[in-house]
């Protein structure tokens, strides 16, 4: 079974600063994917970044980077130069690469990020 842990219910960061959102996962599958999603209060779930378990380099997408530490089973999201529009709920998720659970996304409980001016 997959398990995703986000230990920070809420985080606060000042505009233009960087912030790290924590995520750890527990899986016995050798092949899996890790994802981060952003959900503003309006409700849409926005895909931010993906890391495959076999990827050697950390994924980056603009101001988002994923700090992937496979041995520690952690996949922290780093947002650089925070903007007011980054205020939202952030979900870490894991998907198995094969087997009967193929197609399932396992979500953490989320971290509510607030960016202040």
Partner 1 sequence: DTEVTQTPKHLVMGMTNKKSLKCEQHMGHRAMYWYKQKAKKPPELMFVYSYEKLSINESVPSRFSPECPNSSLLNLHLHALQPEDSALYLCASSRGTGNQPQHFGDGTRLSIL
Binding site for partner 1 (CB under 8 A): 31-33, 35, 37, 42-47, 50, 52-53, 89, 91, 95, 97-98, 102-105, 107-110
CB of residue 35 vs partner 1: minimum separation in angstroms?
Answer: 6
| Residue 83 burial (C-beta neighbours within 10 Å; 0-12, 13-18, 19+) | exposed
Q: Pick from 100, 87, 101: which is nearest to 11 by CA?
A: 87
Of the pair 16, 30, the CB lying nearest partner 1 is at 30
Of the pair 45, 84, the CB lying nearest partner 1 is at 45
CB of residue 16 vs partner 1: minimum separation in angstroms?
Answer: 27
How many whole angstroms separate alpha carbon 16 and alpha carbon 75?
Answer: 22
């Amino acid at each position: 079974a997959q398990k995703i842990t986000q230990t920070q219910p809420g985080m606060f960061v000042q505009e233009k600063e960087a912030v790290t959102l924590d995520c750890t996962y527990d899986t016995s599958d050798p092949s899996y994917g890790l994802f981060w999603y952003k959900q503003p209060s309006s409700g849409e779930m926005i895909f931010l970044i993906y890391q495959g378990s076999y990827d050697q380099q950390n994924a980056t997408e603009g101001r988002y980077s994923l700090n992937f530490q496979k041995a520690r089973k952690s996949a922290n999201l780093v947002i650089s130069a925070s903007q007011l529009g980054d205020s939202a709920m952030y979900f870490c998720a894991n998907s198995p690469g094969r087997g009967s659970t193929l197609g399932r996304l396992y979500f953490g409980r989320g971290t509510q990020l607030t960016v202040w001016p």
